[in-house]
Amino acid sequence: MINEHLPALQVVVPLLAAPICFLIPNKRLSWLFATLVSWLSFAMAILLVIAVNDGTILHYEFGGWAPPWGIEYKVDIFNSYVLLIVTAIGAAVFPYSWKSIQKEIPETHHRIYFTAMLLCLAGLLGMTITGDAFNLFVLLEISSLSSYTLISLGRDRRALTASFQYLIMGTIGATFILIGVGLLYALTGTLNMADLASRIPALEGSRTLEAAFAFLILGFGLKLAMFPLHLWLPNAYSYAPSSVSAFIGATATKVAIYALLRFLYTVFGSSFSFDYMQVHWLLMPLAIASFMFASIVAIFQDGIKRLLAYSSVAQIGYILLGISLVNVTGLTAALLHMFNHALMKGGLFLALGAIAYRIGSTRVQSIAGIGQAMPYTMAAFVIGSLSLIGVPLTVGFISKWYLILATLEKGYWPLTVLIIISSLLAVVYTWRVIETAYFQERPAGAPAVKEAPLSLLIPTWVVILANLYFGINSSLSTDLASHAALLLFGGSLL
Amino acid sequence: MSNINLLIDVVLLAMLVLTTIAIVRIESLFAIVMLTGVFSLLAANIFIILDAVDVAFTEAAVGAGISTVLMLATIGITGYEQKRRRKISWVAPLIVVTITGAVLVYGTLDMPAFTDPEAPIHTHVAPRYINESPTEVGIPNMVTSVLASYRGYDTMGEVIVVFAALIGVLSLIGIREHKGDPKHLEPPARPVLQVMSKFMIPFIILFALYVQFHGDFGPGGGFQAGVIFAVAIILYALTFSQQDAMDLAPPRILKRLASLGVLIYGGTGVVSMLKGGNFLDYNVLAHDPVHGQHYGILVIEFGVGLTVACVMMLIFFAFISRGDRNP
């Protein structure tokens, strides 16, 4: 029975766990409960990946109403893969949160923090798993509202402005998505994605369809921080509590990219998106600007969190570049980088959270000389950085490799050069941090620093080791990504 | 006949545009808040002309009613006048807005004509809702059938959005309870208002209950009813005192009830799973599927009403308890 309800439970369990968590009077219990739920979600995502790995597609009809009248969940290789990314990061961040928020969030707000985290997790999972365009919007609202709350919990007063800025940009994005879905409904009379997909080809040439397409691309572009719509991201990531930066930084933009791909390939179909609308000629220059510009800006940042945030904008650029190449290798690279970037950025933000726990600051200067005092934390940071640069034996290398192959396959060798230059820029900005930590003296009179507690180190190292594991034994992630890419291309040929 | 309709449409839409321009230009926050209320009321009128009475009702209750009250409570904290700002360039926003508007206009060029009976929205999914819902779901108001049963999962999502808003407000400002603060123990004397509101509150609550339980037959349902119920308590808080209202509806309890409402909705789904159906499949709740639909809709609408009412009261309490601190 459980198996048959698995797609629904994947979202319903964390969704209903949120109000339960809010009812639990004891803070430690609410943490244990939320952590248990996040592990349960991860387990369910693994089961779903196994269930759809042979190409089956799972359907779940809410209320027993068949689509397009009712709402349908639909799990295939592509979205089960994204579910896996989101829940895996969740399963590492939830246990990590307990220690991390002790110093960053006032005790009165701990229960609210876990409730909002559960809402955010459920919202992101729901956006990923749903087969209904309007349902996607509803869960987008849940995840957005809770992430604004989570960002505003940051210790610095500027977290409030950052959260407000994100709220305004996010709401504009969500409104654009809603307008797009509304226009599609006016044209087709349906909200189900598969049903939309079967009715859209007949409408090619309709100006309303073009407008719907434009609104949806822009809406998701805002949510996924596509250059130049990324302005909310650096502030949001740098002022949020460490654990929130790790969770949202690793998952939220990935889910927005997933939704964009779902609309480009499944709903509109690749012939409309790429042959008719030629959207890749919009995405490609923005992607290039994104990773070149953001990598350069990252070099000049004083705060490490802000540096990592700009690096995220750059990584999103790589993913968009993979998409804009419109070939299977490029799409595989994009999907792989969604997974790999979640691992590297998740690991880096978690390591940074452990530093913040001990020294209370994440400015580059304030970590001078902590390399000896916090060897395990800094080692994790170094491995994460190597992965970010794309050094062999880390996941970063795998996705860069595929991306470079894809550009060469298309014969766009100048792009290959740009990717390599941007990777060298990543060496520069991560080296500044590593050099300060290892080769500078701790300022005289600074308080002694101890290694971070195990409850922070273990989740951090689990994610960091995953960077190495999937970098060496890459067959699992590359198989999943290439199957998903083939599915998207194949699905559009039908 | 259609000419009159056209005229009314044009006048209402023109008023909507004028209200928006006024909101952008005026600097008094109080006037802006009142105008947003006017905006919602005009929108509600337009929805009525479009025959969407349920939506109109919600817009009037939420947009013109509770949102206006909450915004007023907000400016009770921030002050009534906009801060003088440095001149900011309006060129960039104007370009963005113009392009967005142009794309919207462009998008409407190929849209199926308004009231065209052959338009896809009337011929694809809708016929089943119209023709089958009286027998499948068994209630006369098909809007409620769609909202609570066919697309009941979206509605659960909306209730959780309301809950998420509560979490946001509580994390940002929280609720201060002024137990034992003498200033709050003595209600200010406003005899006329107090007598009038004592007279009105029972009727407001009765109306809320009617809207709650009559949603199957006419416009209404948990969202509107919850808001109306909350307004009764808010009126009490405004005319008597915040402390009186908080004694009547203690925030501590309201917080639990707000979670409970969500859990009642979700719990209905879990029960239908345990009884062998899919999540939120009300058919399995009773021997007769139509009875099951009735029970299911009744219970989830109650959950909606409970959460919405509690969240609205809590958000209001959060705002006014802050306002008291910086008068």
- Residue A39 and residue A42: Cα distance in Å, rounded? 5
Q: Which of B157, B165, B168 is the closest to A138 by Cβ?
A: B157
Partners of residue A179 in chain B, C-beta under 8 Å: 104
Which residue in B279, B282, B293 has the most chain A C-beta atoms within 10 A of its own C-beta, making it the best mutation to test that interface?
B279
User: For residue B216, what pLDDT is reported?
Assistant: 82
Say yes or no to pLDDT of A99 above 60. yes
Q: Which residue of A has its CA nearest to B152?
A: A63
Q: Who among A65, A160, A210 is closest to B150 (CB)?
A: A65
A291/B184 Cα distance (integer angstroms): 58
Do B171 and A152 make contact, defined as CB atoms within 8 angstroms?
Answer: yes
At residue B28, what are phi and psi to the nearest 5 degrees? Answer: -75, 120
**CB–CB contact B174 A108 (8 Å):** yes
Compute the distance between CA of residue A441 and CA of residue A370 in angstroms, rounded to an integer. Answer: 8
* Position A174, amino acid: A
Count A/B contacts: CB-CB distance under 8 Å: 172
- Residues in B touching A8 (Cβ below 8 Å): 273, 278-279
Q: What is the DSSP annotation of A151-187?
A: HHT-SSTHHHHHHHHHHHHHHHHHHHHHHHHHHHHHH
pTM assigned to the model: 0.94
Q: Given B104, B109, B125, which is nearest A69 (Cβ)?
A: B125
Mean pLDDT of A389-397: 91
Can you tell me the distance from the alpha carbon of A385 to that of A125, in angstroms, rounded to the nearest whole number? 28
**A357-387 confidence digits (pLDDT tens):** 998 888 888 888 888 889 999 999 999 999 9
Domain ranges in chain A are: 282-494
In the predicted model, what is the mean pLDDT of chain B?
Answer: 88
Q: Give the span between the Cα atoms of B236 and B194, in whole angstroms.
A: 8
CA gap A323, A329 in Å, rounded: 9
Top pLDDT among A474 and B181 is at A474
Residue B171 to residue A68, Cβ atoms within 8 A: no
* B123: closest chain A residue by CA: A189
Contacts of A178 in chain B (CB under 8 A): none
> Are B157 and A146 an interchain contact pair (Cβ–Cβ within 8 Å)?
no
pLDDT attached to residue A2? 67
Name chain A contacts of B174, Cβ cutoff 8 Å: 108
What pLDDT does residue B327 have?
A: 33
Query: How would residue A492 be classed by pLDDT, with cut points 50, 70 and 90?
Result: very low
Mean pLDDT of A421-432: 93
Check CB contact under 8 Å for B167 and A212.
no
pLDDT of residue B43 exceeding 70: yes
> How close does chain A come to B184, measured CA to CA in Å?
25
How does residue A101 score in pLDDT terms, banded at 50, 70 and 90? very high
Hunting for tokens 């879990």 — which residue is that? B270
A302 pLDDT above the threshold of 50: yes
User: Closest partner residue to A207 among B107, B126, B279, by Cβ?
Assistant: B107
Residue B323 has pLDDT above 80, yes or no: no
pLDDT at B326: 38
For the cut 80, the answer to whether the pLDDT of residue B268 exceeds it is yes
The answer to whether B150 contacts A70, with C-beta atoms less than 8 Å apart, is yes
Residue B243: per-residue pLDDT: 84
Amino acid B188: pLDDT: 66
Task: List chain A residues with CB under 8 Å of B120.
Answer: 186-190, 199
Q: Is the pLDDT of residue B183 over 70?
A: no
- DSSP collapsed to 3 states, chain B: CHHHHHHHHHHHHHHHHHHHHHHHHCCEHHHHHHHHHHHHHHHHHHHHHCCCHHHHHHHHHHHHHHHHHHHHHHHHHHCCECCCCCCCCCHHHHHHHHHHHHHHHHHHCCCCCCCCCCCHHHHCCHHHHHHHHHHHCCCCCHHHHHHHHHCHHHHHHHHHHHHHHHHHHHHHCCCCCCCCCHHHHCCCCCHHHHHHHHHHHHHHHHHHHHHHHCCCCCCCCHHHHHHHHHHHHHHHHHHCCHHHHHHHCCHHHHHHHHHHHHHHHHHHHHHHHHCCCCCCCHHHHCCCHHHHHHHHHHHHHHHHHHHHHHHHHHHHHHHHHHHHHCC
Residues A312-322 have a mean pLDDT of 95
The answer to whether the Cβ–Cβ distance between A126 and B157 falls below 8 Å is yes
> According to the model, what pLDDT value does residue B181 have?
56
User: What dihedral do alpha carbons B161, B164, B166, B171 form, nearest 10°?
Assistant: -160
pLDDT given at position B325 = 44
Q: What is the pLDDT of residues A242-266, one digit of tens each?
A: 999 999 999 999 999 999 999 999 9
In chain B, the domains with their CATH numbers are 1-87 (1.20.120.1200), 146-327 (no CATH)
- Judged by CB atoms closer than 8 Å, whether chains meet at B152 and A62 is answered as yes
H-assigned helices in A224-303? 232-239, 242-261, 270, 280-299
**B173 contacts in chain A (CB < 8 Å):** none
Asked whether the predicted pLDDT for residue A428 surpasses 80, the reply is yes
What gap in Å lies between CA B226 and CA B278, rounded to an integer?
28
B5: closest CA of chain A, how far (Å)? 22
Q: Please judge whether A62 and B279 are an interchain contact, meaning their C-beta atoms are less than 8 angstroms apart.
A: yes
What is the β-pairing status of strands A72-75 and A58-61? antiparallel
φ/ψ region of A452 (left if φ > 0, alpha if ψ in -120 to 50, else beta) reads beta
Best of B95, B153, B158, B295 to disrupt the A interface (most A CBs within 10 Å) is B153
d(CA A111, CA B120): 47
What is the rounded distance in angstroms from the CA atom of residue A14 to the CA atom of residue A43? Answer: 13
Residue A494's pLDDT is what? 37
CB contact under 8 A, B168 and A134: no
Position A56 pLDDT exceeds 90 = no
Asked whether the beta carbons of residue B259 and residue A20 sit closer than 8 angstroms, the reply is: yes
CA distance, residue B170 to nearest chain A CA (Å): 8
- Do the chains contact at B110 and A208, CB–CB below 8 Å? yes
- Reported as a single tens digit per residue, the pLDDT across B189-228 is 788 888 999 999 999 999 999 999 888 888 888 999 999 9
Query: Cβ–Cβ of A186/B120 closer than 8 Å?
Result: yes
Q: What percent of chain A has pLDDT over 70?
A: 99
In terms of CA atoms, which chain B residue is nearest residue A11? Answer: B157
Cβ <8 Å between B125 and A16: no
CA B137 to chain centre: 25
B288 sits in the region (left: phi over 0; alpha: psi -120 to 50; else beta) called: beta
Summarize pLDDT for A164-219 with one digit per residue, the tens: 999 999 999 999 999 999 999 999 999 999 999 999 999 888 999 999 999 999 99
Which residue from A65, A139, A148 is facing B157, i.e. has the nearest CB?
A: A139
* Cross-chain residue pair B263–A148, CB shorter than 8 Å: no
CA A69 – CA A71 distance, rounded (Å)? 7
Q: What are the structure tokens assigned to B245, written together?
A: 């209202």
Closest by Cβ to A23, choosing from B119, B154, B259: B259
* pLDDT given for residue B178 in this prediction: 62
Q: What pLDDT band is residue B187 in, cutting at 50, 70 and 90? A: low
Could you say which of A20, A116, A153 has the minimum Cβ distance to residue B263?
Answer: A20
Q: Is the pLDDT of residue B88 over 90?
A: no
Q: Which residues of B touch A22 (CB under 8 A)?
A: 167, 255, 259
* pLDDT above 70: percentage of residues in chain B: 94
